[in-house]
Structure 1
Amino acid sequence: MSIVRWQDLCIDAIDVGMQSEFWAAVSGLDIADGEAPARLGGPTPAHSLWVNPVDRPHLVKNRVHLDVYCASIDDLLDLGASVLEPADETGFGWTVMADPEGNEFCAFLRTPDRLPDYRIHGIGIDCGDAEAQARWWGELFGAEPEFQAEYDVWTLTGVAVDETMTLDFAPVPEPRTEPNRAHWDVKGDVDELLARGATHLWDQPHWTVLADPEGNEFCVFPTA
């Protein structure tokens, strides 16, 4: 039984218009509302990606990043991305890139016939204790995390936008120092989440901002 349900994704931006155009092109979503905050829309409300205005630039490596499919790295470069770690140098099956404001994301190549309309296929989360984080979120979503020894990550599948999108919790040595520039929103009960170890940060008229056990911000909307 799940305690929360997925609602949507959010990305902070200095230039909302530029970031909206970039992430719409990368994700395969449409700009449904270009006002700040802007909303990128897709086939269901769960596909929504909000681009929220902030005055805080990218300062440190993001502890939450998006994984995307693409036909070529050049396509992403043409949109304004930059390469941080090429796949042919790291030996991994993905290229680490940065969007126009420096936010890291991972690009996985797919042939055109295998490129889906919606191209965000995962969310990477840096953790001090990856297993504990995966199990905490797994209990909330009602899913059992799976350990992928090849990549040293704990993965939740089928809890986000669709049945294939993953949340991948990876161990990192560095501590969290800055607010995340990407987060997800859920529907759930704030009091129950607080009882399970979340921390209250602040209230908004229509949602409450909490933090998970490692301080990652997320927004909680009423289930009704």
Structure 2
Amino acid sequence: MKYRVHLDLATTSAAHQAELVARLMDLGATPADVGQGDVPWTVLADPEGNVFCVLEPREIYRDTGPIAAVVVDCADPRAMARFWGEAMDWTLHEVTDDHAVLRSAKGVGPYLEFLRTPVKTVWNRVHLDLKPYPGDDQAAEGGPAGGSRCHRRRRRPGRCVLAVPRRPRGQRVLRPLPGLTKSRSKTV
């Protein structure tokens, strides 16, 4: 089964790719077929069935660290790039009707990529938690680029209370509420 969000892992050489695939399989990953056909990357599933790719070496991902990209299937890559670019203050590197690529304005970490795919009704097994840069105004109300206000608040065990706004396609985005200093937002 292919989910709407998956990780692409970076490698530095063909040998590194082969070693990483072998190590991941030793840890419990299994080969996965999502209809990819004959491609230079390897598609695997983690022990819970979450699909991810181990990419062949690509120059664009040479400085991302182990996670090359978080890849999101969507109906409208341009709209998603516009929303997430403003939501995270990330730089748009490429956009077409079929895909969009964003990365931190600081040029560090993985890319966020949106790929046009038919609308799916599967549950999203991955979500993004946003954490503002130091000094950013966490108290700003409303959402950027057409996002709506928070639709509810919830308490997560051992974590602060979070505001849960919706982005244009209706998926949740978790962010700390203003004035809270305890935040363990995940970075992807």
TM-score, normalization by structure 2: 0.68
Whichever residue aligns with residue 87 of structure 2, its letter is L
Considering fraction of residues, name the structure with more helix. 1
**Structure richer in strand, relative to its length:** 1
CA RMSD of aligned residues (A): 3.4
| 2:43 corresponds to 1:96 | yes
The yes-or-no answer on 1:182 pairing with 2:111 is no
CA distance in 2, matches of 1:88, 1:170: 14
Number of equivalent positions: 158
1:154 paired residue number: 100
Say which structure, 1 or 2, has more relative contact order (CA 8 Å, 6+ apart).
1
Mapping of residues 194-209 of structure 1, within 5 Å: 196-198=146-148, 200-205=150-155, 206-209=161-164
1:74 and 1:87 mapped to 2: Cα distance? Answer: 22
Q: Residue in 1 aligned with 2:54? A: 107
| Aligned equivalent of 2:31 | 83
* Pick aligned residue for 2:83 from 116, 133, 136: 136
Corresponding position: 1:211 with 2:166: yes
DSSP 3-state at the match of 2:9: strand
Q: Distance in 1 between matches of 2:93 and 2:62?
A: 25
CA shift, 1:140, in A, is: 1.7
Kindly tell me: are residues 87 and 61 of structure 1, through their superposed partners in 2, closer, same or farther at Cα, counting changes over 3 Å? closer
The 8 Å contact of residues 134 and 145 in structure 1, kept in 2 or not, is answered as yes
Aligned to 2:114: 169
Structure 1 counterpart SS, 2:90: coil
Distance in 1 separating the partners of 2:118 and 2:100 = 16
Please give the alpha-carbon distance, in whole angstroms, between the structure 1 residues aligned to 2:37 and 2:145.
45
Residues 111-164 of structure 1: per-residue CA shift (max 9 Å, x gap):
xxx998941221001111111101111122223423266xx420101259x614
Aligned 1:38-49 pairs, distance under 5 A: none
State percent identity of aligned pairs. 30
The DSSP-based 3-state class of the residue aligned with 2:115 is strand
Aligned to 2:4: 63
Stretches of structure 2 lacking an aligned partner (at least 5 in a row): 132-137, 156-160, 180-188
Aligned residue for 2:134? none
Using structure 1 for the length normalisation, give the TM-score: 0.58
CA distance in 2, matches of 1:132, 1:164: 22
Bigger drift between 135-144 and 116-125 goes to: 116-125
8 A contact 2:7–2:71 mirrored in 1: yes
Q: What is the rounded CA distance, in whole Å, between the counterparts of 2:139 and 2:5 in structure 1?
A: 23
